[in-house]
Structure 1
Amino acid sequence: MSTRFDAIIIGAGQAGPSLADRLTKAGMTVALVERNLFGGTCVNTGCIPTKTLVASARVAHLARRAEEFGVMLDGPVRVDMARVKARMDAVSGRSRENVEKWLRGMTGCTVLQGHARFESPNTLRVGDEVLTAERIFINVGGRAAVPDMPGVRDVPFLTNSTILDLGTLPRHLVVIGGSYIGLEYAQMYRRFGSAVTVVEKGPRLIGREDQDVSDAVKDILEKEGVRVRLDAECIRFAPHPDGVAVGVTCASGEEPEVVASHVLLAVGRRPNTDDLGLDKAGVETDARGTITVDDQLRTSAPGVWAMGDCNGRGAFTHTSYNDFEIVAANVLDDDPRRVSDRIPAYGLFIDPPLGRVGMTDDAVRKSGRRALVGMRPMTRVGRAVEKGEAQGFMKIVVDADSREILGAAILGPGGDEAIHSVVDMMYAKAPYPTLQRAVHIHPTVSELIPTLLGELKPLR
């Protein structure tokens, strides 16, 4: 005996609940299945808890700098990690509870907790219950990847999820992976008081960024006392009386290993698709398990869509939400929105943060376009200087012929917010003189974006 619905959603991450809301308001009966925590990665192990920790770490950092601003504090700054964790748990917990309450109170939505597995393209089993629907939406997210590095299974290690369980301060945190997740944890734990070493296999941090961004981020972290080991071609692990010995190089003349009290693996993520029975539904995946989708997020199985991290088309909270918008527009609104209409934009939430949109300089060069670039260090941005946060820079690159804005990076105070001035112009397809002639508020970081566009030089 099976229960029939108009639609089934697997996963209560960023896209799933919003889609359930739209579908039920359209008069459909919806089953939403969640096997773990409501809210998905963002609410439970991603954006909300980590940015809550970043906020606590920033307060500690500013407190240590108080005398620079003429503010005198008595005694050394102490960080109570138990209270830091309690605050994080409370913020994350409220968000999770709100998502669950929303879903359970949604008219027309049946919430089931359990592990959903396909039995056919339109049939799922959840425990003893069998569900059928003409439309099934997969929103199962992803998890930390654990690569098969020598010795990794012989030592204790943390991932971006399990590190959130720590209520004490690591003596020495070694972060394997010099990209977005790893760098955020590296800086925050350094500010909490841990010794921190970042171990990156590649020649520079955040390799998808331009060299100048990578260099500036490295400089910011190193000035706060984070050690960075690049070109770590021999990463390996072994038990040690003081924790874990992390091998970082095979070259002679260099320190071959670092001894960590705790190791964080931040070397990528993988989709949660290996135990869904996708083969029984005819849903195709690639070698990593990422679900193959078309430009409107339809899978190879008719009537089945995939949204969020499991489809490999964004892997950010904002792209997951946009996946919901694309699916809803096509299914409900007769509006043919597409993933390819999306302009890449994201942030690196170290402090100061990086806001990025569009093409990097390297990508523009490879495209063969004739381009212009404007750049200004934060030492020449009044707002940054006033706040005592003049690290980083801002830059924008445009097409010299079409005057199209191609991309921008703002690494500095408020960079994650200021970048939206450029994002919006790019979606409006406005030529760069439109933004150049805008009158922004002083004193802000954003006010220098028009100035950048008045100082363009050929991109070399």
Structure 2
Amino acid sequence: MPTKYDLAIIGSGSGAFAAAIRASTLGKSVVMIERGTFGGTCVNTGCVPSKALIAAAEARHVAADATTRFPGIDTFAEPVDMPALVGGKQALVESLRGEKYVDIADSYGWQIRHGDATFAGIPDVPVLEITGADGMVETIEANQYLIATGSRPWAPKFDGLEEAGYLTSTTAMELTEVPESLLVLGGGYVALEQAQLFARLGSKVTVLMRSRLASKEEPEVSKALQEVFSDEGIRVVRRAVATRAVRDAGTGQVVVTADVSGGEQEFRADQVLVALGRRPVTDGLNLDAVAVNTGEFGEVVVTDQLRSSNTRIWAAGDVTGHPEFVYVAAHHGTMVAENAFADANRSVDYTRLPRVTFTSPAIGAVGLTEKQILDAGIRCDCRVLPLHHVPRALVNRDTRGFIKIVANADTGEILGLTAVAKDAGELAAAGVHILGKTITEVADAWAPYLTMAEGIRIAAKAFTTNPARLSCCA
């Protein structure tokens, strides 16, 4: 006979944990099934390891760059001890996996199964069959099910790529030596972060992209990052699509042929990193058997309440094809538990969702872009404030970047904020709370001197005053 639970969760990442925690506090029995490493993408192969290495690379870059930025400071940076760096990263990952996942699960006392989960039964009475490493199969029946299996890096199928070999955002975090040269395919947030990371560790980096850097953000973002990358020796090739790859038997390098603005060019590097997006992980779940619809890329199609086409099966996080942020997955997980067991009838709303890319300077944004406002038929008024008008940036000796505010020209209501700056993520977080306020309200609000957040107030004042004519704190 099947073991019965209130909630069965496939996956063990942030969405799974948020759902399990909330369901447990509602007095529900929970079982969590994981076929890989416990804790999901973020702590194991995503946010935590990548940001740990980015921080290390920035420390090295600051040491190498401090003499130029700060008169009187004389520093230099030695070559990187990559095994030690990766070892430190892995120690952090294992510590957080233990403290924030394994220990948390133990404290709530829900059940954990290790194995491959597959749906069986019929749509009205779905069950899960869990196959363990020993081949034994356990059947689980639940009142509600949550698919929180995340996503994985995706690579296109072009000639020779598999044979030549390539890195993904996951395997790049495991390298034990810094490649002398690196070719990055892609222009999204993963590509940008990884390109700068390895350049700062000592690689000669070339980026091939179809469109422009951070193409979903304001065009000013692309221009600012292009200048930063150029200053740091990163070559950016636009309107480039890789078509072939081969590993040179003599040099060991990978040779990639790309269509660049209609003509073919060859690019050589010791390693190729494919950062062209991710795809939801739904293979092997047998979703057709329980009438769960999937989309073009295998994502579980859900309603605004995160319920699938089977009323007893929900989905959360990357597997839904929704924005791929760990905090979105966690928000989803809590919402599923409340909708499933507390009749909350909550819906997902991304209006105030902040987004951050951890380059240096970082990209932070919230709300609409200028193009989105115009496409919606709204009259747009905007200001772009270069960072040389922000006292904190002057003190940091780093004025690369800007703060942009976009507003409804008829009402003065702020509809979006974008920044390229140190601590741009914090600016985006502050931006969550100014959306819907008027330019005048923000311009007249308190702002502590010598903070980056003060730049938001200055950008608001720029709608009525030339910022070059403002004194400090005015």
With the shorter chain as reference, the TM-score category is over 0.9
Which residue is 1:116 aligned to?
117
Please list, as runs of the form range in 1=range in 2, the aligned pairs for 1:6-405 lying within 5 A after superposition.
6-68=6-68, 69=70, 70-73=72-75, 76-120=77-121, 121=123, 122-127=126-131, 128-202=137-211, 204-240=212-248, 241-242=250-251, 243-249=253-259, 256-340=265-349, 342-405=351-414
- How many Å separate the matches in 2 of 1:9 and 1:99? 18
Conservation of the 8 A alpha-carbon contact between 2:22 and 2:338: no
Which residue is 2:470 aligned to?
none
Against the structure 1 CA distance between its residues 450 and 205, is the aligned structure 2 distance closer, same or farther, given a 3 Å change threshold? same
Conservation of the 8 A alpha-carbon contact between 2:387 and 2:402: yes
Give the SS at the match of 1:336.
coil
- How many Å separate the matches in 1 of 2:369 and 2:340? 34
Which residue is 1:434 aligned to?
441
Give the SS at the match of 1:364.
helix
Deviations 1:211-270 (A, max 9, x none): 221111111111100011111145321121321001123669x88111110010000110
Deviations 1:34-55 (A, max 9, x none): 1111221111111110100110
TM-score normalised by L of structure 1: 0.94
User: What letter is aligned with 1:21?
Assistant: I
- How many Å separate the matches in 1 of 2:8 and 2:403? 45
Deviations 1:370-392 (A, max 9, x none): 12112211122111121122101
- How many Å separate the matches in 2 of 1:23 and 1:421? 31
Conservation of the 8 A alpha-carbon contact between 2:390 and 2:454: no
How far residue 401 of structure 1 moved from its aligned partner, in angstroms, is 2.2
Identity among equivalent positions (%) equals 33
Consecutive unaligned residues in structure 1, runs of 5 or more: none
User: What letter is aligned with 2:254?
Assistant: V
Give the SS at the match of 1:42.
helix
Give the SS at the match of 1:19.
helix
Greater shift in the superposed pair: 319-328 or 182-191: 319-328
Conservation of the 8 A alpha-carbon contact between 1:15 and 1:324: yes
Greater shift in the superposed pair: 33-42 or 429-438: 429-438
Against the structure 1 CA distance between its residues 250 and 188, is the aligned structure 2 distance closer, same or farther, given a 3 Å change threshold? closer
Conservation of the 8 A alpha-carbon contact between 1:233 and 1:250: yes
User: What letter is aligned with 2:256?
Assistant: V
Give the SS at the match of 1:248.
strand
Give the SS at the match of 1:15.
helix
Please list, as runs of the form range in 1=range in 2, the aligned pairs for 1:404-443 lying within 5 A after superposition.
404-426=413-435, 429-443=436-450
User: What letter is aligned with 1:444?
Assistant: T
Deviations 1:120-165 (A, max 9, x none): 3430011110000110011000001111122212211011111111
- How many Å separate the matches in 2 of 1:76 and 1:16? 42
Conservation of the 8 A alpha-carbon contact between 1:282 and 1:301: yes
How far residue 103 of structure 1 moved from its aligned partner, in angstroms, is 4.6
TM-score normalised by L of structure 2: 0.91
- How many Å separate the matches in 1 of 2:396 and 2:81? 26
Give the SS at the match of 2:349.
helix
- How many Å separate the matches in 2 of 1:226 and 1:142? 28
- How many Å separate the matches in 2 of 1:449 and 1:150? 48
How far residue 178 of structure 1 moved from its aligned partner, in angstroms, is 1.2
State the Cα RMSD in Å: 1.8
Against the structure 1 CA distance between its residues 78 and 341, is the aligned structure 2 distance closer, same or farther, given a 3 Å change threshold? closer
Count of residues in Structure 1 that have an aligned counterpart in Structure 2: 452
